[in-house]
Amino acid sequence: MAMSDETMTGGASGSAKAAPVPKGRAAAAGGKSTLGQAVFVILLLGALALPFIFKNFTIFQMTMLMVYAIAILGLNLLTGINGQFSLGHGAFYAVGAYTAAIMMENLGIGYVWTLPVAGILCFVVGFLFGLPALRLEGIYLALATFALAVATPQFLKLTPFEHWTGGVQGIVIIKPDAPFGLDAVLNADQWLYFFTLAVGLFLYWLARNLVRSRTGRALMAIRDNPIAARSMGVNTSVYKATAFGISAMFTGIAGCLGAIVIQFVAPDSFTFALSVAILVGLVIGGVGWLPGALLGAAFIVFIPNVAEEISKGLAGAFYGFFLIAVIYLAPQGAGGLLRALVAKLGR
Amino acid sequence: MSPILEVKGLEASYGDLTVLRGISFEVEQGGVATLLGANGAGKTTTLRAICGMIRRKGEITYDGERIDRLSTEAIVRRGIAHVPEGRGTFTTLSVEENLQLGAMTRPMGKDISADIERCYHFFPRLKERRTQQAGTLSGGEQQMLAIARALMLRPRLMLLDEPSFGLAPMITKQIFDILADVKKEAGVSMLVVEQNASLALGIADHAYLIETGEIVMAGEAQTIRDDEGVRAAYLGY
Amino acid sequence: MELFIQQIVAGVATGAIYACVALAVVMIYQAIHHLNFAQGEMAMFSTYIAWQMLQWGLPYWVVFPLVILVSFVGGFAIERIVFKPIENAPVLSHIVIFIALFAIFNSFAGFIWDFTIKAVPSPFGDGPLWEGAMIGKHQAGMIGVTLIVLLLLWGFFTFTRVGLAMRAAAVNPESARLVGIRVSMMTALGWGMASAIGAVAGMLIAPVVFLEPNMMLSILLYGFAGAVLGGLTSPLGAVIGGFIVGVVENLAGTYIPVIGGELKLPIALFLIVAVLLVKPAGLLGRRVVQRV
């Protein structure tokens, strides 16, 4: 097992109801294992070269892929590591996006500063939503977050906030140029791509360290056996709410980046479909496997297009059938398939 | 007469953990057999395996027919009633509804209400509580309800899992007295699993001693009762 | 005061729809202890089938039972084909499958019948129930049909053997098998009934909101709110909860200026979270004790 040193340890029992967590779930490939390291370096080199090879639309797509990957990473911290899940992460994404839009267009603050603000704000919102949510388990949590997702666009349309949010019209954002005279070399799309890449790498590093920290272990203990964790002195409610906050923070930063990249926010960009996309990305990539976020993001960026190629009218149906197939054939997602493959090759 | 239940080389496991390592025993027509053993010896698993509630290997013959490949529902339809560990009553349904459910596999008709009356005759306490939710009954009453529900099937074989579990000695004695009556009056064969060996040996004709998934001793109930080793280990005198 | 009463009456009428959806939600919950997030889309699809049959010229009161039957068979089949293989899978797998079904029904409806909105006639006629009445004919019809559905369900669960068996399977599946009940068949039956009830809800609401593929999402949310409020284990509770949600929604829309007529979904969110926190079992439901 090439990745065994990266495997999150945890009891096989207890978590079965909360999330599909495979035996010997791996948190993060790469790092110490040579194979993972090699893959990481190749991917990084490819990512660095990409904006100089492809056209602007592809660069835009890849930037959005990274944005979604960050959002999925956030949800993975909640579901994979802490055993809670959410059908409503689109709401946190929306909070992040509106934070960016309002700060940049209404207050005239530089886009770089929107990221930490969005992160902190979403942490607070997530923590507060997590406080009641931690009393809810399984389908009740799914229900509360489903309601959050469906209600989000209407929240954004509420008249008292219209002065800030622009109501149904939303807010148009002006795309930032590359700083420090780099605009001579990089156009705005390329710059945003590298900016997103840097933020993504930083957040990934953060997530990995979180998983390996004391806090991370406590979160996994709660996932695997909440009652035992409590009896060992882990304050489950604070940890679970914190997990919600951290998860929302990641997704919110993704929303912030996404708004800058798309240059526009409006209530109807943040419907239930967005929350579904993030969840689907998580499941496709593999619950509990952090790099899976990239694969999941690739799925939600490209597969709708592919489905549309196959049949314009039935894109949603193909999407649905594909999801069912994944649950039947590869319930651990792409991450599970890869792990199985590596285990086979390593033998 | 051939035995009503014949088990040969029964194996069962939960995941990697093997619980039964090829046990064999039988229950005679109209007779009572008991499986004795400590906690975790595999007694409950044996009953669950017979009923098809877990995966099992080996031959199980009931009334001349192999039942080891049948589903639980199909096995129940053939007249095997299982009184599970922890009683397994339908807690939010009324006592009478619980009894009606016991007759689920039988055609509808008057004889079902007659059988309910017969159950009330065996267990007058249940009659008093017929409209009450089963979950509100005491432990002893729930055990009575579980046995009565099993009788509603008009079974030819009853599997009883720890009927004495968690009950006061007086109630336990009452229940075993009723079981003895049922055996006599209705001619139902029984397989009783018990930790309380002296109780079980009181009504059993045959006894099997099970240890870590294997039968270590078998014989007439009387012989087992008189055995020095059994006495020391299970009967405590 | 007149406005107040009028809003209550209107709330009860929309509440009838939520009550119907909530009933379907409870049926599924009883059968599989999950919430079917595709329930609304299934109901929408049933309603399209009804619309299609009406287009073909079939009379309404032939279409109505026919669609209920088709929906029942459809729901039954979905359980057998899609959910049976994963009955022991974790919650998240179920949720993903619900989402997949959501996408499939939504997409097929748009593909077959396109996304333009369609008008569906009311079987009860237009206009007020009587001269000067506050309640319309269709609204009264919705309330009546919902109550009839509830009554039929109550009778089914109380007086029939199958009903008793379904309740037993919901309370204790293992013991249900031990009395010879085919539990997985009961689950499929529950799906069929939920789908049929959803079809009734869809056909009742279509004359009010117009038919289009996305018509059910917010209604489903209100249905969930009604089911949670009344108690996920109680059909009667679900109906009462549905009516309450309808009234609360209407009053809030009228009297809380921030919300206005269009933006009432946050109320459903608020209701759901509040009920789950304060009284998770709902008004009439049982507390589900989770074993460790």
Domain CATH for C86:
1.10.3470
What's the domain range around A235? 56-174+185-346
Copy the structure tokens of residue C282. 């709902």
Q: Where are the alpha helices (DSSP H) in B57-102?
A: 72-77, 95-102
CB contact under 8 A, C168 and B76: no
Taking CB atoms and an 8 Å cutoff, what residues of chain A touch C97?
A: 323-324, 327
Long-range (24+ apart) CB contacts under 8 A made by C115-120 are C115/C212, C115/C213, C116/C212, C117/C210, C117/C211, C117/C212, C118/C51, C118/C210, C118/C211, C118/C212, C119/C207, C119/C210, C119/C211, C120/C47, C120/C50, C120/C51, C120/C54, C120/C203, C120/C206, C120/C207, C120/C210, C120/C211
* Separation of alpha carbons A155 and A167, rounded Å: 10
Across the interface, do C280 and A280 touch by the CB < 8 Å criterion?
Answer: no
Whether A14 is in a domain gets the answer no
Q: B127 — contact with chain C (CB < 8 Å)? A: no
Of residues C172, C182, C286, nearest to B90 (C-beta):
C172
> What is the separation of C-alpha C239 from the centre of its chain, rounded to a whole number of angstroms?
10
Rounded to a whole number of angstroms, the distance from the CA of B99 to the nearest CA of chain C is 10
Q: Higher model confidence: residue B175 or residue A183?
A: B175
Least confident of A307-321, B194-208, C66-80, C212-226: A307-321
Closest to C164 in 3D by CA, of B97, A82, B196, A37: B97
- Test C273 with A144 for CB contact under 8 angstroms: yes
What is the pLDDT of chain A when averaged over all its residues?
75
User: What residues in C contact A11, CB-CB < 8 Å?
Assistant: none
A14: helix, strand or coil: coil
Is pLDDT above 60 for B52?
yes
CA B228/CA B214 separation, integer angstroms: 20
In percent, the amount of chain B with pLDDT more than 70 equals: 96
CB-nearest to C90 from A19, A146, A321 is: A19
Q: How far B121 CA lies from chain C's nearest CA (Å)?
A: 21
pLDDT in the model for residue C74: 95
Could you give the ipTM of this predicted complex? 0.86
Q: SS3 for B63?
A: coil
What is the per-residue pLDDT for A150?
A: 83
Could you count the other beta carbons within 10 Å of the beta carbon of residue C278?
7
Nearest to C277 among A14, A135, A323 (CB): A135
* Per-residue pLDDT tens digits for C37-77: 898 999 999 999 999 999 998 998 899 999 999 999 999 99
Q: Please report whether residue C90 resides in a domain.
A: yes
d(CA C181, CA C162): 9
- Residue A34 placed within a domain: no
Say how many CB pairs under 8 Å bridge A and C: 148
Q: Is residue C53 part of a domain?
A: yes
For chain A, the domain total comes to 1
pLDDT of residue A228: 72
For C177, nearest residue in chain B (alpha carbons): B73
Q: What chain A residue is nearest to C107 in terms of C-alpha separation?
A: A316
CA–CA distance, A198 with A203 (Å, rounded to integer) = 9
pLDDT, residue A5, reads 34
Q: What mean pLDDT value characterizes chain B?
A: 86
Grade residue C193 by pLDDT with cuts at 50, 70 and 90. very high
Tell me the chain C residues in contact with residue B82 when contact means C-beta distances shorter than 8 Å.
Answer: 178
Test B51 with C178 for CB contact under 8 angstroms. yes
Q: Which chains touch B (3 or more CB pairs under 8 A)?
A: C
> B219: domain range?
5-86+150-235
Q: Does B135 fall in a domain?
A: no
CA distance C112 to C51: 12
For residue C16, tell me if it sits in a domain: yes
Q: Distance (Å, rounded) from C-alpha A280 to C-alpha C37? A: 14
pLDDT tens readout for residues B6-39: 888 888 888 778 888 888 888 988 889 998 888 7
User: What's the pLDDT at A23?
Assistant: 37
CA distance linking residue A218 with residue A223, whole number of Å: 9
pLDDT at A27 over 80: no
For B97, list phi and psi in degrees, rounded to 5.
-65, -40
Q: pLDDT tier at C162 (50, 70, 90 boundaries)?
A: very high
Is residue C135 situated within a structural domain? no
Paired with B206 in beta bridges are B33, B220
Q: Which residues of A touch C95 (CB under 8 A)?
A: 85, 87, 142, 279
Spatial separation of the C-alpha atoms in residues B151 and B85, rounded to whole Å: 16
Q: According to the model, what pLDDT value does residue C287 have?
A: 56
Beta strand B17-27 pairing with B5-14: antiparallel
Instruction: Say if residue A331's pLDDT is above 80.
Output: no
Would the CA dihedral through A327, A329, A334, A336 be positive or negative?
A: positive
Cβ-nearest to C164 among B53, B76, B97: B97
CATH code for the domain in which residue B33 is found? 3.40.50.300
Q: Domain total for chain C?
A: 1
B212 inside domain: yes
Residue C196 included in any domain: yes
Residue B53 placed within a domain: yes
In chain C, residues with a C-beta closer than 8 Å to the C-beta of B104 are 161, 165, 168, 179-181
Q: Which of C176, C178, C181 sits opposite B82 (nearest CB)?
A: C178
- Which is more confidently placed, C47 or C233? C47
φ, ψ (nearest 5 deg) of residue B25: -165, 175
Query: Tell me: the pLDDT tens digits for A94-131?
Result: 888 888 888 877 777 777 788 888 888 888 888 888 77
d(CA C42, CA C106): 9
**Is residue A5 a part of any domain in this protein?**
no
Residue C133 domain-assigned (yes or no): no
CA closest to C281 among chain A residues:
A140
Taking residues B53-81, what's their average pLDDT? Answer: 89
Q: Residue A283: give its domain's CATH number.
A: 1.10.3470
pLDDT over 80 (residue A10)? no
Which chain C residues touch A81 with a CB distance below 8 Å?
Answer: none
d(CA A43, CA A56): 20
Which pLDDT value is given to residue A20?
41
Whether residue C50 lies inside any domain: the answer is yes
Which of A269-273, B78-82, C105-109, C193-197 has the least mean pLDDT? A269-273
Please check whether residue C99 is in contact with residue C37, taking contact to mean a CB–CB distance below 8 angstroms: yes
Flag whether C214 is in a domain: yes
